[in-house]
Structure 1
């Protein structure tokens, strides 16, 4: 159960983000302004939800620590402050009717973007420190350890991929544009996009690998939950060593998908219009994934487990 006692600054941030989500959804209904092809409050909705998930996840994780707990607590606090500042800038710019990212059109806009960029770097470094502390706090379940550790590592990589967006495009450089940086590769920002998400349907979009990577720390633990539920009925995945191997394979597959999505975006190719190279890479990943899963579940563990089934407790009760 969620508790403010997990990590108070992060949980307070989560509450603030839940409130902002409601306000921003209301804004999309009553405010008819658009920005880069989307309702002007859509960015606040997406960022608030993402930060809400981040805050609850890390508040829960830090609460489990027995080693480096104080260091992790301060890292979480710094991250909460940085994320709060980032969302303040986004909301301020929405109210002002302009973009928050890559905006150097006026001294005020440039100062706000610089502030936001600094806060993003601080949050990444704080998350790195918390992730290092995470590696010092192993549980008794190797599958859970693998999911949380690989998830944290991939999340850091995904967050770092956001740096690919901050460099001026060739067109911006050639024209001396006051907008320096872009989400879309090969086309200007603001073209046709997927509903709600806004990801480009005509060009490469670096937000896709950025988003997928950042949320590995939530998605990989879900694999553990599925495996633990499956182990109650399927004897092949009951041994802890088998579940740990499957989680490791899932992390490797996740990393491969993240690499392909980044490669696809950098080539200026829309997610929903893959070419033969992208489809071939996807086929290789799917084949490798199927083969590795079959090999793992068919391999007999060296020592048969004595326990008939895995723990029934939720993943949060470590």
Structure 2
């Protein structure tokens, strides 16, 4: 008679938990890299008194560190709803890890060299860094778009949360694409730039550095990127309210449309050379119309939802 294996688990033992999917492990590593990069930038802000184009030298790496961290946390959560295409997800996560790590390293290298990383073609090395970063971030855009398709085709997700992810992804991709305007902004710059109506640098708002004298294309880019967090967070808040599901999803459609409208408005304002806090009458009128449209849309959704609920109770 053959003896039972010495290390065999008892018959009623629970199965060992499965390891997390590869893409979740890879994105966790990417989040760790982003956290380290942010910590380095924050230390640099404290110990390094230098400035680049009138701003603290390590302010840009710090802003990019925060942005990359928020992006990775959100995209890791969203890709977590996808239950198939494991190999494709692992490829997407690998590309995100490599590209964003290289992007953060390139920014830090240029700070250490005492120069800018974007729109800088002063030397052959600077040109290679700038063009390489453009290629990296374009790759991130492509893999994000592929990930968005995988998320949006997934069934079984709470409809309110799914609506928040859908609008967050779509507006965020639009915000990423808006960066193209900076690369072709050649009227005031030799190699592109974010300021319209003047050169990059000069007086800016605290923390963000957005120009207080001219238009700044970074504003719409920033708003679009962070729709990836804002609109899903709104979905979570709406999911806790005692509202019918269709009302919540329609409210998210109004919010997503309004957020996209704000992205377009701030980009249009910047392209006209206006600083964010110095809008003219036309900009204010369009902003008021957008606000009115969002308020009216929200009111219509709520009233129609109450009417439908009253009819169902009859």
Establish whether residue 254 from structure 1 lines up as the match of residue 259 from structure 2: yes
Counterpart for residue 309 of structure 1: none
Asked if 2 retains the 8 angstrom alpha-carbon contact of 1:62 and 1:73, the reply is no
- Structure 1 residue aligned with 2:118, among 88, 101, 113? 101
Asked if 1 retains the 8 angstrom alpha-carbon contact of 2:186 and 2:193, the reply is yes
Counterpart for residue 206 of structure 1: 217
Counterpart for residue 273 of structure 2: 268
Establish whether residue 76 from structure 1 lines up as the match of residue 88 from structure 2: no
- Structure 1 residue aligned with 2:66, among 31, 44, 49? 49
Establish whether residue 215 from structure 1 lines up as the match of residue 220 from structure 2: no
TM superposition shift of 1:8: 1.6
TM superposition shift of 1:110: 0.8
Q: Distance in 2 between matches of 1:202 and 1:226?
A: 37
TM-score in terms of structure 2 length: 0.88
Establish whether residue 138 from structure 1 lines up as the match of residue 149 from structure 2: no
Q: Distance in 1 between matches of 2:228 and 2:129?
A: 29
CA RMSD of aligned residues (A): 1.9
Asked if 2 retains the 8 angstrom alpha-carbon contact of 1:202 and 1:270, the reply is yes
Establish whether residue 24 from structure 1 lines up as the match of residue 41 from structure 2: yes
Q: Distance in 2 between matches of 1:61 and 1:214?
A: 15
- Structure 1 residue aligned with 2:301, among 283, 296, 301? 296
TM-score in terms of structure 1 length: 0.87
Q: Distance in 1 between matches of 2:274 and 2:156?
A: 41
- Structure 1 residue aligned with 2:287, among 282, 285, 295? 282
Paired residues for 1:31-42 under 5 Å: 31-42=48-59
- Structure 1 residue aligned with 2:140, among 93, 115, 123? 123
- Structure 1 residue aligned with 2:250, among 245, 251, 276? 245
Counterpart for residue 185 of structure 1: 196
Counterpart for residue 311 of structure 1: none
Asked if 2 retains the 8 angstrom alpha-carbon contact of 1:76 and 1:130, the reply is no
Asked if 2 retains the 8 angstrom alpha-carbon contact of 1:72 and 1:129, the reply is no
TM superposition shift of 1:67: 3.3
Paired residues for 1:152-171 under 5 Å: 152-171=169-188
Q: Which deviates further from its counterpart, 125-134 or 60-69?
A: 60-69
In our comparison, the structure showing a higher alpha carbon Rg is: 2
Counterpart for residue 234 of structure 1: none
Q: Distance in 2 between matches of 1:43 and 1:159?
A: 17
Asked if 2 retains the 8 angstrom alpha-carbon contact of 1:9 and 1:80, the reply is yes
Judged with a 3 Å threshold, the aligned counterparts in structure 2 of structure 1 residues 144 and 192 are, in CA distance, closer, same or farther, namely same
TM superposition shift of 1:114: 1.4
Judged with a 3 Å threshold, the aligned counterparts in structure 2 of structure 1 residues 82 and 140 are, in CA distance, closer, same or farther, namely closer
Counterpart for residue 314 of structure 1: none
Q: Distance in 2 between matches of 1:74 and 1:208?
A: 31
Q: Structure 1 unaligned runs (5+)?
A: 232-237, 306-318
Judged with a 3 Å threshold, the aligned counterparts in structure 2 of structure 1 residues 64 and 268 are, in CA distance, closer, same or farther, namely same
Structure 1 segments (4+ residues) deviating >4 Å: 3-6, 301-305
